[in-house]
Structure 1
Amino acid sequence: MFSRYEIRLSGTGGQGLILAGMILAEAIAFGEKKQVVQSQNYGPEARGTNSRSDIIISDQEIDYPKALHLDALLALNQAALEENFPALKERGLLLIDSDLVKEVPPVPYVGLPLTRLAKESAGHPQSANMVALGALAALTGQVSLRSLGAAAARYFKDEGLEKNIKALKSGARYGRKRFSGDSSAIAVV
């Protein structure tokens, strides 16, 4: 049976969302052996402007490489939520950084303190992107932590890899703990 799953990672340039999208796409392609397309969009200044990375996953060849109806949306700030929420499917997964996004539409969503978890697990807020990937892995079932870790190893070495693996695990652990890995049971947090 044909399936297509669309994920958008959105926030501000400098939050590592383009890198996170590349890691997620590689993890799905090489680790999960699925078809995947990754695209990115960011402002001309890159750092400080809106940024997003779209990942389309399928068990068959992807004939249209643009995300239209998101199954999952990560919003790391308020502007990202407001700009990208209209593309989320009615029953799609909405994951927000609960410390940075304060006004959420009246729909079920997952609010996790992604930046705070990054500081606690990896020692710096820049790993919020990796915490988010770990949470998305636990909540969507589209990719394993093992595949994400292997893909991350292509981008990070030594201490950087170790810290980002801790961030991935923290996000996955928090996602599983709070939501038992069942995205159909997600409620407003």
Structure 2
Amino acid sequence: MKPQQMIVRHKLFDRLCHWTIVVVGLVTFLTGFSFFFPSFQWLSGIVGTPQLAKVMHPFFGIAMCLLLALMLIRYYHHNKWNKYDLPWMKAVVWVLLQKEDNIPPVGHYNPGQKMLFRAFVIFVLAFVITGVMMWQPYFAPLFSPETVNWATLIHSACGILMLIALVVHVWMATWIEGSITGMLYGKVSRAWAKKHHPMMLEEEDHK
């Protein structure tokens, strides 16, 4: 593949941020599940002991949320709704059937990816707010036991929902051949962009 046939989809900083989130997020989820669900306590072994998992989980969680927030800010301009999104959503059946000729063109991200983007924004806010309210022994004593219980419930529910969203995210990335390669190396072929994100290619050509 000649260099001139490739275009940048993800900059180096964004790729480093993404894969750091993957590592930090994995530790956060495993330690979280280890003490929210007793049958998964063995997962705390990723950091050593259940006691250490409880201590480290908030710090890994903060790191994950900060990095994710940074990435969301950097990708905000790619995730604004535009005139290409509604036609794509109306043709979502063709998208699932991979009937390329019937799928309307989209830009850097399609509406499905944009909805995931908004879900991650909600998750970050929910994790930070409820996480601070639950954090023993620093902030939890400032709130009533009932409030802390509600925060724990919301925090746990968001953890499960985000896990589902991440499964969808991984599925979408593996379903479209070349997506993961783009996040690994930063570049995709012009042919790939023309097939999956033609308006992105048009935007690139007008720079």
In the superposition, the TM-score normalised over structure 1's length comes to 0.30
Structure 1 or 2: more strand by fraction: 1
Structure with higher Rg: it is 2
In the superposition, the TM-score normalised over structure 2's length comes to 0.28
Structure 1 or 2: more helix by fraction: 2
